[in-house]
Amino acid sequence: MIEVKNLEKRFYNFALEGIHLTVKKGFITGFIGPNGAGKSTTIRCIMNLNRRYQGDVRIFGKTHTENTEGIKQHIGFVQDENFFYGHLSLEQNKKLLAPFYKTWNEKLFKHYLDLFELPSMKKVDHLSKGMKMKFSLAMALSHDPVLIIMDEPTSGLDPVFRRELLELLQDIIQDEEKAVFFSTHITQDLEKVADFITFIDNGKIVVSEEKDALLDHYAVVKGPNEWLTTERRRLLHGVKETDIGFEGLLADKQQLAGEASGQVLLERPSLEDIMFYTVKERKNGHSTIA
């Protein structure tokens, strides 16, 4: 559905470098990374909103130069900023925007307005933050897109609706013909629904992999300080030492096979752990995980 190769985008004091990324049909791919890592910039390049970039971005096998209109017809896009006309009602916004989509489905739109409890006659400016996000979602889903790309769609949503949205996304990919790609800081959401994870830090992809495999081969290692020889320390990322002991992240737990037994604890990490220790390692001035 999406194939990005060697994407480069430069700003004054930031660069996306050598971004490789794929989003597969039938799956949900989560995009994670700390503030300023380059998630929105990558998404904007994929949507052709950042025009001057290098590299190959293909959606449905085509570049934007080949068929940008055709591509966008089949994408449901949710941005982190509100791009509707604030002084107009939801209904008026819909009337202006729906004609751009050949497959606009008015019944589906009404269904989402009801489901999301949105008042169609209210002005966008008078909606709460979460309601604006819900309206963005309703607009993005009502032309029955095959690819859904969202930049932090769950920010500002209450936990009940967030969970409902995750369920909705899982329903959408059930027919194995669609794909969802979304960025979020709520890594627990991705633990629930994502099939693949792409993690970006400081403009570079740290890891891009099937979620369960990723969580299987990383480990948080905890143990007494005397175990931490220089050699073993080199294997770990974001090491923190206290009087009680140390903890750090191991990218490939096979590297400690045999050596660890009995002396240290190897725990299955959360996505947040993987992010935390990796970013900590970079901030400490060491290289990131390859």
Binding residues for ligand ATP (CB under 6 A)? 11-12, 14, 33, 35-41
Minimum gap (Å) between residue 160 Cβ and ligand ATP: 24
Minimum gap (Å) between residue 186 Cβ and ligand ATP: 12
Minimum gap (Å) between residue 116 Cβ and ligand ATP: 23
* DSSP designation for 185: S
Cα 150 to Cα 78: distance, rounded to the nearest angstrom: 4
Minimum gap (Å) between residue 199 Cβ and ligand ATP: 11
Candidates 148, 187, 188; CA nearest to 169 is 148
CB nearer to ligand ATP: pick between 9 and 162: 9
Minimum gap (Å) between residue 147 Cβ and ligand ATP: 19
Minimum gap (Å) between residue 40 Cβ and ligand ATP: 3
Q: Which pair of tokens denotes residue 121?
A: 């006659």
CB nearer to ligand ATP: pick between 11 and 83: 11
CB nearer to ligand ATP: pick between 14 and 83: 14
Cα 157 to Cα 168: distance, rounded to the nearest angstrom: 14
3-state per-residue secondary structure call for 60-95: CCECHHHHHHHHHHCEEEECCCCCCCCCCEHHHHHH
Q: Which pair of tokens denotes residue 231?
A: 């050699």
CB nearer to ligand ATP: pick between 80 and 144: 80
CB nearer to ligand ATP: pick between 79 and 93: 79
Assign residue 202 a region (left: φ > 0; alpha: ψ between -120 and 50; beta: otherwise).
left
Question: Is 243 exposed, middle or buried, given 0-12, 13-18 or 19+ CB atoms closer than 10 A?
Answer: exposed
Strand residue runs (E) in the chain: 2-11, 14-23, 28-32, 54-59, 75-78, 147-151, 179-183, 196-201, 204-210, 219-223, 236-241, 246-250, 265-267
CB nearer to ligand ATP: pick between 7 and 113: 7
Give every CB contact of residue 77 below 8 A, 6+ residues apart in sequence.
Answer: 47, 140, 148, 149, 150
CB nearer to ligand ATP: pick between 37 and 169: 37
Minimum gap (Å) between residue 95 Cβ and ligand ATP: 31
